[in-house]
Amino acid sequence: MKFLVLNGVNLNLTGRREKDVYGGETLEEINREIEAFVEGKGHRVDFIQSNFEGELCTQIQRAEGVYDGVVLNAGAFTHYSYAIRDAIASVSVPVVEVHMSNVHAREEFRHKSVLTEVCKGEILGFGKNSYILALESFLI
């Protein structure tokens, strides 16, 4: 199987911003660990990060027919992007929503996701392992 890990706005700063919340490893380092996990299971994974809402919509559209599943951490777009929500609803490829932090233990504006309803499921609060657990959900 082939998977896409899609990271949204500000996730490129992982390892440098709010280390107490998101940890000290860079996105590149986390991606290498995810890659080792997925390839160790005999599958493939691609990685895309964008700070642009429309680009994330384009990548979700392009995932149709190419990937068996998408793991999406949309960052702050999670909380208000109806465009990303519509993109997810427009494709049949399953999308699992991911957050490194436990958004429900943080500011109130993070408690609401406009994406969850159109996602296959949601995994949050396990740091970088949220990505691994989301990918695992496609393999069980």
Identity of the residue, 59 or 101, whose beta carbon is nearer to ligand DQA in the bound complex = 101
Residue with tokens 């993109």: 87
138: helix, strand or coil:
helix
CB contact at 8 A, 50 and 73? no
Neighbour count for residue 17 (Cβ, 10 Å): 11
C-beta of residue 131 within 8 angstroms of C-beta of residue 108: no
Out of 52, 76, 86, 121, which residue is the one contacting ligand DQA (CB under 6 A)? 76
Positions marked active-site: 22, 99
Q: Which is nearer to ligand DQA, 131 or 138 (CB)?
A: 131
Q: Taking CB under 6 A as the rule, does residue 27 contact ligand DQA?
A: no
Which of 30, 73, 93, 132: binder of ligand DQA (CB under 6 A)?
73
Residues lying near ligand DQA in the complex (CB under 6 A) are found at 10, 73, 75-76, 78, 99-101, 103, 110
